[in-house]
Amino acid sequence: MSSAEQETINGVVISFFSTASSVGKTLIGINMAAELARQGARVVLVDYDLQFGDVCNYLQLEPEQTLMDAQRSIQLTGSSFDVRECLTPYSCRNIMFAVLAAPRKLEESYNIKTSVAQKVIEQLQGLFDYVIVDTTSMFSELNLMLLDISTIVTYLGVVDFLPTIKNMKIGSDTLRTLGYDSEKIRLVLNRSNAKTRISSEDVQKLLKQEFYYVLPNDFQAASQSIIDGKPLVLEHQDIELSDAIRGLVGLYSNRSLGGVEEPARREHKSSLLGRLFG
Ligand SMILES: Nc1ncnc2c1ncn2[C@@H]1O[C@H](COP(=O)(O)OP(=O)(O)O)[C@@H](O)[C@H]1O
Ligand SMILES: [Mg+2]
């Protein structure tokens, strides 16, 4: 293989999707990014919850550039656009990943073009081993594009109230109707042991689908990690929720268990973003 070929990577895109808000997309997405980075992969976390993105709040980041700047740059410079200029580095316990922040203002979010959002992901795939994408809960044009280009979609749900479950059912029926490969869409139950009168068995029967994975409830640890701005898998490694997140990441990155091929790694460099880009 020539050195030019070795340089080309095609990062794995893992997106988080749901039909209800507050099911844990952002929290679990952040932790997945942190865990993959801890394992040595180059990771970028993209906040495509355009209007109410929480990634920077949860990580206590103050980004200088956002997706809006990326869009402006694409419109001005076309193919010479460099997405790296729009990223914000995140670091905790010497583990690093990059963040592409959501726009700051509602009117900016409203003006983001899906074609631009797609170009950005495609460029990131050439730079990172993993592109983790947080979303908002809706069947929007943006999210349909993401469902198309993702390698794996984590369809996250909680079993709490009947309306949430009705919407999960609508979501999974719609995904089936749209013809997505069932291997690609991974139905993951979050906050499994939270107090509820609804059994997860009944929900699986209703959805005609088993949960691919189950994540436990730990409200105190989850809340504390948001207060501290630090991912659970880095700061609270010994708790059950961190263990479960590591297990899910393990399934995603282990090919023999239906995961995806890990892109080739490159040696880390010393500067913060330099270390991310290899
Ligand atoms: N496994 C979990 N156990 C307990 N609380 C959780 C868990 N996952 C998420 N949460 C909490 O649920 C709330 C919503 O999570 P968030 O990631 O913002 O959801 P979403 O991005 O889907 O809207 C947050 O307060 C978070 O701390
Ligand atoms: Mg969120």
Domain hosting 114: range is 12-260
- Pocket (CB within 6 angstroms of ligand 1): 18, 21-27, 54, 190-191, 215, 217-219, 222-223, 226, 241
pLDDT at residue 116 tops 90: yes
Domain annotation covers residue 273: no
CATH of the domain at 53: 3.40.50.300
Average pLDDT, the chain: 90
Domain annotation covers residue 53: yes
pLDDT at residue 115 tops 70: yes
Q: Give the model confidence (pLDDT) of 8-35 as tens digits.
A: 789 999 999 999 999 999 999 999 999 9
Between CA 41 and CA 129 the distance in angstroms is 6
Q: How far is CA 39 from CA 22, 43, 102, in A?
A: 28, 10, 26
Domain annotation covers residue 267: no
Q: Give the model confidence (pLDDT) of 229-266 as tens digits.
A: 999 999 999 999 999 999 999 999 875 555 665 544 43
Domain annotation covers residue 178: yes
Mean pLDDT of 123-138: 97
Domain count, the chain: 1
CB 64 within 8 A of CB 262: no
Q: Give the model confidence (pLDDT) of 145-192 as tens digits.
A: 999 999 999 999 999 888 889 999 999 999 999 999 888 999 999 999
What's the confidence (pLDDT) of residue 255?
Answer: 56
241 CA → ligand 1 middle, Å: 12
What's the confidence (pLDDT) of residue 161?
Answer: 85
Strand order in the sheet with 130-135: 88-92, 95-100, 43-48, 130-135, 12-17, 152-157, 185-189, 213-214
Q: Is 211 helix (H, G, I), strand (E, B) or coil?
A: coil
The runs of H, that is alpha helices, within 132-237 are 141-149, 162-177, 200-207, 219-228, 232-235
137 CA → ligand 2 middle, Å: 9
Mean pLDDT of 61-83: 96
Domain annotation covers residue 272: no
